[in-house]
Structure formats: C-alpha cells, structure tokens
C-alpha cells in the first residue's frame, strides 16, 4: 500500500512530528491486522477449501468478529476487501 508523506517542520495546533509518526505507525498496524483478520475469516469457511458448507459457521464468525453476518458474508465472498 502506497502512502503519501511529506516533511512537517512545524507544530500545528499542538501536534508534533512524534505524534504524527505514532498515528502513522498505528494506522500501519491496523492495516496489517485487518488483512490478517480478513484472511482468517475467509479460511474459517469450509466451502473456501472445496468442502461442503457447514451450518452455523457464518453466525459464529460474525459473533466472534463482532460484525454483522452480512458483512462477514461479503468478506467470505470477496466483496469486502482489506
């Protein structure tokens, strides 16, 4: 993922360069975790491995991820992306 950055040489509204760097680093961590979470969600479904669908998997994954079944289904089907 490409990020845009430019040097900031002054403090704006009390924010300093260290805070900007922490924000950027946390966002990078969030992106990494989201990619891993989406992969894990897709892998939870037997049908993604050529096996028959299993009753209750969608509801359990949605409950554990704390997202709606509709959103989990979009992730499973590749319609929601990292």
The DSSP secondary structure of the chain, one letter per residue, reads ---------S-BTTB-HHHHHHHHHHHHHHHHHHHHHHHHHHHT-GGGGTSPP-TTHHHHHHHHHTS-HHHHHHHHTTSS--
Per-residue confidence (pLDDT) for residue 20, from 0 to 100? 95
pLDDT tens for 18-77 read 999 999 999 999 999 999 999 999 999 999 999 999 999 999 999 999 999 999 999 999
Per-residue confidence (pLDDT) for residue 6, from 0 to 100? 56
Per-residue confidence (pLDDT) for residue 7, from 0 to 100? 57
């Amino acid at each position: 993922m490409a990020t845009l950055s430019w040097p900031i040489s002054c403090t704006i509204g009390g924010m300093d360069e260290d805070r900007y760097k922490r924000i950027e680093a946390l966002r990078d961590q969030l992106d990494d975790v989201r990619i891993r979470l989406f992969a894990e969600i897709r892998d939870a479904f037997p049908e993604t491995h050529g096996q028959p669908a299993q009753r209750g998997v969608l509801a359990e994954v949605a409950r554990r991820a704390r997202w709606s079944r509709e959103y989990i289904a979009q992730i499973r089907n590749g319609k929601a992306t990292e």
